[in-house]
Amino acid sequence: MKLYYSQPSPYARTARVLHRELELSVQEVHQHPFDNPPELIAANPLGKVPCLVPEAGEMIFDSLVIAEYFNALPGPKDMFAGVHGNWPNRTLLALCIGLLDSAVAWQQDKMREAEQQSSFWQQRYQNALERGLAFLQPRLALLPKEFTVLQIYGVCALEYLDFRHPDFGWRHRFGPLSSWADSLGDRSSLMATRPQESK
């Protein structure tokens, strides 16, 4: 199966980490959504990455649906262990996805011409991120002990903040969260997918 992704995309990164963890055979195809590649548009009418084209059947998007699909394939482990059926952890997963949403929306606003940027929205995204991190940090002990989708979305969100919003400086204010991210960061699936600028 083929996975359309772009290197800096944190949503695409979650799918790239997951298939590595599950040792699935996936061909990664780099597509920058802003180039409107016809293959990507044909696969995902929203023109977004990640998008999965399985061997047979319909395309699969978005990242959480791809995660559920990968996890449903025969594989060595359950990447939703302690998340499905556990409402506090399922809510923390939604929180981590929401952190990604705010961080990406903030980045998109920063990419506009200076006069088109909105200080109202940029502040709002930062406030949501600040409160979200403050909510997550004291709940780290609740997370499943295994490496699950929750850890994947969490680390992808935090490292995306390092990548796109270094001036936000979250690591100075959230020491335990920063140590938590670092304790997972040398996993090969995370190291192989760390965001960098597209060439």
Binding site for ligand GSH (CB under 6 A): 9, 11, 33, 47-50, 62-64, 104
| 195 token code pair | 């965001």
Rounded Cα gap, residues 78 and 99, in angstroms? 24
Other C-beta atoms within 10 Å of 57: how many? Answer: 8
Q: Tell me whether residue 50 or residue 144 sits nearer to ligand GSH (CB atom).
A: 50
Q: At closest approach, how far in Å is the CB of 63 from ligand GSH?
A: 3
Residue whose CB is less far from ligand GSH, 11 or 168: 11
Q: Which is nearer to ligand GSH, 59 or 64 (CB)?
A: 64
Can you give the three-state secondary structure of the chain, one letter per residue?
Answer: CEEEECCCCHHHHHHHHHHHHCCCCCEEEECCHHHCCHHHHHHCCCCCCCEEECCCCCCECCHHHHHHHHHHCCCCCCCCCCCCCCHHHHHHHHHHHHHHHHHHHHHHHHCCCHHHCCHHHHHHHHHHHHHHHHHHHHHHHHCCCCCCHHHHHHHHHHHHHHHHCHHHCHHHHCHHHHHHHHHHCCCHHHHCCCCCCCC
Give the shortest CB-22-to-ligand GSH separation in angstroms: 18
Residue nearest to ligand GSH (CB): 62
Instruction: Provide, rounded to whole angstroms, the least separation between the CB of residue 145 and ligand GSH.
Output: 25
Instruction: Write down the least CB distance from residue 47 to ligand GSH, Å.
Output: 5
Q: How far is the CB of 46 from ligand GSH (least distance, A)?
A: 7
Of residues 186 and 196, the one with the C-beta less far from ligand GSH: 196
Least Cβ distance, residue 176 to ligand GSH (angstroms): 27
Nearer to ligand GSH, 45 or 175 (CB): 45
Cross-strand pairs, 29:
4
Q: Which is nearer to ligand GSH, 11 or 170 (CB)?
A: 11
